[in-house]
């Protein structure tokens, strides 16, 4: 049996006719940028998230950058961010000239540890950027309380957790302004790059609307220095189709994860994803931890099973961030996670038989150690 890491076939096959029809309508509209498809998607996504405003942008990184710009975060400001996040969260901070201040994650949830946030707050701190890593919500209520006490802004990085809940409320709706990505492999993925910003604040929504379009509200009049960061009409048209299936696909991800958990729970050598109380996990990724990860990854590969590592090098040890002056050992939890995490195959439409095959091979490998 060959098990890829990700397989679009089951879902893309099912919606092919709808996608082709949406392309055909788009093509015949003769309107290709900032049109009805985008307006409709922004409306639909806001409703789906139960939030007032959604602004479609070019990708997740741009969504993060524009969110920080809208808050006025700039050089000299400090932004708190988990030490184990995907690099894009950190890139957004440094792209607006601000300084990332790393906060270690909780080793079980792999999300920012709220207990460690206050110790990192200084006079320069302007914002906290929680990242709902792998699809599990951060402890948003706790984080929002800290932000309120210290008058900090909150920008959620919701790129991996469309539809996750914390205390019944969706991720990407708690912060002052929030960013998400529709990169094809994300839980809601375009057929190319895409992203969005969500907020309940009309002033911030307006600001990003202007920022994404050259800093201009009225054609050929520029109020601020902006970007060309619009979400393409064609991607908005595809996303309108795919959004209708997001609930169903999320349930499938959760079903697959529960198969994995059930079949691996007796395997003491590996650490399974933990789902904290009051929280749902949308399983963008199913990440286990194992001390001899390389051995396991090779064994699985030899048996036709592809896995990935999210992420092998934490941001503070990336060459791009040598200037921050960190060294090995500075963020031990992030480093342990980078050295032991292994992401197993998971996609909507993956069968129980395929999950069983992966689990059998994992148990086989571990028993041979």
Provide the binding-site residues for ligand PLP, judged by CB under 6 A: 59-61, 85-86, 88-89, 131, 157, 159-160, 181, 183, 193, 195
Exposure string for 304-316, b = 16+ CB within 10 A, e = fewer: ebbbbbbbeebbb
Q: 90 or 117, CB closer to ligand PLP?
A: 90
In terms of Cβ atoms closer than 10 Å to its own Cβ (0-12, 13-18, 19+), residue 130 is buried
Alpha helices in 54-180 (DSSP H): 60-70, 87-95, 140-150
Q: 183 or 260, CB closer to ligand PLP?
A: 183
SS3 state of residue 222 = strand
Nearest approach in angstroms of CB 131 to ligand PLP is 5
CA-CA distance, 161 to 172, in Å (whole number)? Answer: 8
Q: 60 or 105, CB closer to ligand PLP?
A: 60
Nearest approach in angstroms of CB 293 to ligand PLP is 20
Nearest approach in angstroms of CB 161 to ligand PLP is 9
CA-CA distance, 44 to 242, in Å (whole number)? Answer: 11
CA-CA distance, 229 to 170, in Å (whole number)? Answer: 25
Residue with the shortest CB distance to ligand PLP? 60
Nearest approach in angstroms of CB 185 to ligand PLP is 8
Report the 10 Å Cβ neighbour count for 125.
20
Q: 112 or 317, CB closer to ligand PLP?
A: 112
Q: 181 or 279, CB closer to ligand PLP?
A: 181
Nearest approach in angstroms of CB 310 to ligand PLP is 8
């Amino acid at each position: 049996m060959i098990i890829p890491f990700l397989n679009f076939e089951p879902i893309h096959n099912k919606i092919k006719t709808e996608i082709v029809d949406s392309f055909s309508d788009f093509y015949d509209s003769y309107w290709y940028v900032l049109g009805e498809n985008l307006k409709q998607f922004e409306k639909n996504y806001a409703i789906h998230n139960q939030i007032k405003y959604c602004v479609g942008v070019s990708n997740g990184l741009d969504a993060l950058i524009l969110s920080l710009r809208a808050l006025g975060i700039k050089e000299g400001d400090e932004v708190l961010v988990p030490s184990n996040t995907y690099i894009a969260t950190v890139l957004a901070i440094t792209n607006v000239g601000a300084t990332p201040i790393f906060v270690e994650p909780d080793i079980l949830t792999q999300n920012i540890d709220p207990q460690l946030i206050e110790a990192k707050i200084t006079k320069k701190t302007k914002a906290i950027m929680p990242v709902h890593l792998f699809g599990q919500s951060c402890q948003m209520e706790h984080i929002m309380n800290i932000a309120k006490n210290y008058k900090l802004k909150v920008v959620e990085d919701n790129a991996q957790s469309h539809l996750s809940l914390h205390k019944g409320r969706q991720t990407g709706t708690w912060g002052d302004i929030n960013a998400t990505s529709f990169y094809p492999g994300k839980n809601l993925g375009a057929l190319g790059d895409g992203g969005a910003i969500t907020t309940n604040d009309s002033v911030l929504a307006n600001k990003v609307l202007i920022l994404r379009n050259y800093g201009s509200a009225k054609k050929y009049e520029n109020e601020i220095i902006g970007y060309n960061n619009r979400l393409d009409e064609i991607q908005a048209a595809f996303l309108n189709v795919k959004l209708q299936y997001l609930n169903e696909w999320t349930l499938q991800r959760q079903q697959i994860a529960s198969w994995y958990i059930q079949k691996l729970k007796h395997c003491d050598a590996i650490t399974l994803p933990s789902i904290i109380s009051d929280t749902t996990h949308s399983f963008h990724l199913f990440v286990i931890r194992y001390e001899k990860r390389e051995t396991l990854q090779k064994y699985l590969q030899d048996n036709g099973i592809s896995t990935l590592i999210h992420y092998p090098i934490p941001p503070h040890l990336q060459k791009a961030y040598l200037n921050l002056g960190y060294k090995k050992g500075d963020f031990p939890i992030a480093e342990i996670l980078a050295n032991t995490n292994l992401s197993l195959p998971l996609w909507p439409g993956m069968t129980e038989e395929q999950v069983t095959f992966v689990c059998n091979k994992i148990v086989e490998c571990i028993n041979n150690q």
